[in-house]
Each structure stands twice: as structure tokens, then as C-alpha cells.
Structure 1
Amino acid sequence: MRMSTMVSAAAFLTALAASPAAAEEKAGPFTVTGGATLVSDYRFRGISQTDKRFAVQATVSVTHETGFYVTAWGSSIDDYVANGADAEIDLIAGFKKSFGDTTVDAGVLYYYYPGSGGITSDFVEPYASVTQAFGPASIKASVAYAPKQNALTVGSGREDNLYLAGDLSYAIPKSPVSLTAHLGHSIGPSYLTIGKSYTDWSLGASAGWQGLTFGLAYVDTDGSFITPRGRNAARAGIVASVGASF
């Protein structure tokens, strides 16, 4: 996600919405998964990428039995995000491995915005996370660092950006319902922050039913970003989602 040059800074991964149900196909040492989701608002680190309107999203991943994986994820976006682009495509390569109840995940994410009018809008962001499970509950700590690059500039050359986050999740036993909580902090200044820094948080719930995943989340930040249509994309909102496997 990247905001346009109409503001001095802007802001996640993710909007907190339920992940889509995923189809799984085994092909030797490789596993292929995929899914599609309709969300009422695409939020990235608390900031709406669709001017608080719905978005269509899809993903496909190929994972090797060693833990290496590649993923392509896409979403519709509003044209203020990347100078007229109407889609975001995330290309990801990483490695994920579990050691008992602990899971480590690290990789590189490339944000691609087709149709952004020739400006430098694409950027790269390495990431890493550690998740610790405690029965039906888990806690996750993650960091994403986008090194200095032209796409993140706020007018004074190449800028970088750091994002720190913590997540809690709890799968209610004998129930299809899972609860989540998220807290993140963006440090700039860059086009991924509102000013020098801001904080985002969310609370959500999801439930699976007959191959579908339904989600509902409350998302908010302590920042402000006014879109060209006059909406505050950083203001609190409810995000609903429904996902299906393919």
C-alpha cells in the first residue's frame, strides 16, 4: 500500500479482515492454496485504501515442504493510493517453519501498482515474525522494514519506513469462531506514515461456515488522512468480509 503525493505522508497488512477460506492441492513436495475475499473496506495498517468502500481481493500461494513459499495477493484500490492505479499486487517470497509451538516467518514483499501513471510507486519491504501458540491462543510479534527508496519519499529524497506490530488470536474451543486483536506502529516519515509516526489497532472475529469465512473487525488509528472525496481514511470503522476457496 502506498498513498499518493497529495499528502505529506500516509499509512497494514493489513487491514484486519478475515482470511479467505483456502483450497489446498498437493503436488509432490509442493502445496498450492488459494482464496478470494470481498471486504467492505480494504484497510492497510489502519488506513483505508478504498475510500471506505468495498474491495475484491484474491491470493494464491505455492509452498514447498521445506517451508519456502511464494505468494501473489491482489486487491482493488482507490486511485488516490498510487497516482491513479486501481489495483495493488503484492508479490511475496519467504520461509516459514515451526519448532514445536513456535513459528518463525521471514521474507520479502514487493508492492506493485499497475497503472500508476509512470511515477515511482512500487517498493520493497522485508519482514519477519515470530508466533507462539498456547493451546487455542497465540501471540505474534512482527517487524517490517522498507529501506530507503524513491517510492517512499515525502519530498526530501529517499525515505525508509519501519512497522512494528503485535497480534493476539484465540480460537474458541468446539466452535468455528476465532477472535483477534492487533496493535501496530508505523515510524517514518515516509509515504507509509501520517506525519512522522502513527499507531493503528483493531479487534475482530471470524467464523467458518460451509467453505466460507465470515469476518467482522473494528479498525482505528490515532492519525488523520483526508481523501480527495473528503473522507477521513484513518478514522475508526467496521470492516466486514466474506471469503471463499477456489
Structure 2
Amino acid sequence: MKMRLLATAAGFAAAILATATPASAQEEPAKPVTVTGSVGIVSEYRFRGVSQSDRELAVQGGITVSHESGFYVGTWGSNLSGWGTFGGANMELDLIAGFKAPIGEGATIDVGATWYMYPGGFDNTDFIEPYAKLSGTTGPLSLTAGVAYAPKQEALGAWYATGLDAANGVYTDPGDKNYNLYLWGDAAAGIPDTGLTVKAHIGYSKGNKGLGPFATSVAPTGEYWDWLIGADYVIPGTPLTLGVAYIDTDIGKGESAYLQPSFSRGQDGTGSIAGSTIIGSLTAAF
């Protein structure tokens, strides 16, 4: 869902490490409650193809508490800058809750919601987004299809019609509310006996065209595609994973021109924050 290389790498690392667990450990009774998490750094934090860290380094981490019934709660955080100021916030903190259950051999359904918070910013930049995911595994290949729908909220409204309005602090439609729909698919395949996993992602956004409070937006051009191709490598004998990925969107300069200067690196009118890039990551999973 979120284009967090950290979270993706941690998930793949956990799966690969699990296959290397000694048989004696695997035979231990399953615990009713398990705690998993990850912490690491990425060369840039991208959310659905758009930079939230002004194309700069980000430190990220998360933790999830899962019950044997299938219910889970978790939290995830990252630093922000530039486009992700969110009313003065320099941090994103997500609260997550859901339910996951098997629905067949090798298949899992996962439903829940994410509350996106920006501590230190203003409340009208926070929003909730329910989601549903269907995952399946066959051999070394895992596939996931998901949908996330955020109902109408102020954080998703088009308060500013253009980036110039936002730069001048002139509201076009203060208090406006809108929705956002995100559809995505993920694929990953582990290469046996190498510690290497290749992965791919594609996503489609449709929602508010314009800028919400403090020049933020989940779908800044109203409708666009994002995609990722990459690989993760689990360092033998450690909980560390190295990752690299190519990320891009179909948001062109002409299509996003009305968003300037808010949609630029440094918000100075130059350098798109939705153009193609290569991102590296180092993750420690537990």
C-alpha cells in the first residue's frame, strides 16, 4: 500500500529468515501473541510514488502485535520534509488495526484501517483509510492485490486549486472534503539459496485533484499510476536486509504544472518530487 521500502524489505526478510529457522524452533508451540517489527533507513521516503521527504534520507520504524485469532494492531513512523510538512509536522505516525485470516490453501484475506497522523501539525491533515488485501503464495512466488478507500475528509479536500494559491496562503475552498481510492498489486519471488528476493508493485490513485490543508494531497493530480521494481537481499547470519528499487509515476511536468511550486523539491519551483528515482534501504527486522 504505502511505498515504504523499509516495510516491504522487512516483510520479505522475515519470510526468508523463517525458512531458515531450525526444525527444533519451528516445532515449539505457537504463542497466542507475537510481536514483530523493523527499523531502518531509506535514501528517500516515497508514498505512492510521491516523495514525502523532499527526496532526502528518512529514518523509519514500525511494530505490530498480532493475536492468534487473526487480529492485530501496529504503528509505523517516518520523518517528513518538504511536501510532507502537514501543517508544521516533521513526522508521520500511522496507527493500524486489522484482521487477517486464511481463506484457502496458501491464501490470506486481510482487512483493516490505517489512521495517518502528523504529530506537531494540525488535526485537519490527519485521515483514516480502510483497506482490504488478498494474498497468495505458490512456491517462491507471492502475490497481493489490495484496495484502500478513504471516505470524504478535510485532509483529502481541495482547499487550494493551484500550487500558487497554496504558496500565497489563499484558500480556494476552505473546509472542502473529498475521498481517495487506491488500488494496487504486489509480486515477490525469492531466489532459492541466495537470500535474494525480487519484487514489483503497481498502484492506481483516484481522488482529490488539488491541494488540501497546508498544500498536502494523497492524489495530487486527481488520477495517476505509480510503480516499483526492485530487489532485497538478506545478509546471512543477521537480521539485516539491503534493498534497492526503481520508482516512478506517470505524473508529467505538464500535468502537475498547476501544483507548482508546492509539488517541487524544496518547494522552490524546480525538481519534481514524483519523477523516476532509485532508492536504497537498510532494514533490521525483529
- Using structure 2 for the length normalisation, give the TM-score: 0.77
* CA distance in 1 between partners of 2:158 and 2:110 (Å): 30
* CA distance in 2 between partners of 1:15 and 1:110 (Å): 16
The farther-off stretch of 145-154 and 228-237 is 228-237
Distance 1:131 1:121, change over 3 A: same
Matched, 1:199 2:225: yes
Deviation at 1:173, TM superposition (A): 1.4
Percent same amino acid among aligned pairs? 43
Matched, 1:32 2:35: yes
Superimposed CA distance per residue, residues 189-234 of structure 1 (whole angstroms, 9 cap, x where no aligned partner): 2521122201000101001112201100000001143241433110
Query: Which protein has the bigger helix share?
Result: 2
Q: How many pairs align?
A: 233
SS in 2 for 1:151: helix
- The amino acid that maps onto 1:163 is Y
Match 2:241 to one of 213, 216, 221: 213
Match 2:147 to one of 132, 143, 147: 143
Q: What's the counterpart of residue 103 of structure 1?
A: 108
* CA distance in 1 between partners of 2:117 and 2:220 (Å): 21
Q: What's the counterpart of residue 214 of structure 2?
A: none
* CA distance in 2 between partners of 1:79 and 1:198 (Å): 21
**Contact between 1:79 and 1:86, CA under 8 Å: does it hold in 2?**
no
Deviation at 1:151, TM superposition (A): 1.0
Q: What's the counterpart of residue 175 of structure 1?
A: 194
Deviation at 1:28, TM superposition (A): 4.5
* CA distance in 2 between partners of 1:234 and 1:75 (Å): 18
Q: What's the counterpart of residue 239 of structure 1?
A: 279
* CA distance in 2 between partners of 1:28 and 1:182 (Å): 32
* CA distance in 2 between partners of 1:29 and 1:132 (Å): 23
Match 1:226 to one of 255, 264, 267: 264
- The amino acid that maps onto 2:218 is L
Q: What's the counterpart of residue 13 of structure 1?
A: 2
Deviation at 1:77, TM superposition (A): 0.8
SS in 1 for 2:155: helix
* CA distance in 1 between partners of 2:137 and 2:49 (Å): 25
* CA distance in 2 between partners of 1:145 and 1:234 (Å): 22
Matched, 1:115 2:120: yes
Deviation at 1:79, TM superposition (A): 4.5
Deviation at 1:244, TM superposition (A): 1.2
Query: Which protein has the bigger strand share?
Result: 1
Q: What's the counterpart of residue 177 of structure 2?
A: 158
SS in 1 for 2:152: strand
* CA distance in 2 between partners of 1:56 and 1:15 (Å): 11
Distance 1:28 1:167, change over 3 A: closer
**Contact between 1:16 and 1:219, CA under 8 Å: does it hold in 2?**
no
Matched, 1:91 2:95: yes
* CA distance in 1 between partners of 2:50 and 2:183 (Å): 16
* CA distance in 2 between partners of 1:133 and 1:48 (Å): 31
Q: More relative contact order in 1 or in 2 (CA 8 Å, sep 6+)? A: 1
* CA distance in 2 between partners of 1:161 and 1:132 (Å): 26
SS in 2 for 1:85: coil
Matched, 1:130 2:156: no
* CA distance in 2 between partners of 1:88 and 1:142 (Å): 22
Q: What's the counterpart of residue 4 of structure 1?
A: none
* CA distance in 1 between partners of 2:183 and 2:285 (Å): 30
* CA distance in 1 between partners of 2:64 and 2:123 (Å): 29
Distance 1:28 1:139, change over 3 A: closer
Superimposed CA distance per residue, residues 77-114 of structure 1 (whole angstroms, 9 cap, x where no aligned partner): 11531122100001000011223211111101000001
Q: What's the counterpart of residue 189 of structure 1?
A: 208
* CA distance in 2 between partners of 1:196 and 1:34 (Å): 33
* CA distance in 2 between partners of 1:68 and 1:55 (Å): 29
Structure 2: which 5+ residue stretches go unaligned?
A: 19-28, 160-172, 210-216, 257-262
SS in 2 for 1:19: helix
Deviation at 1:126, TM superposition (A): 0.1
Match 1:74 to one of 77, 83, 86: 77
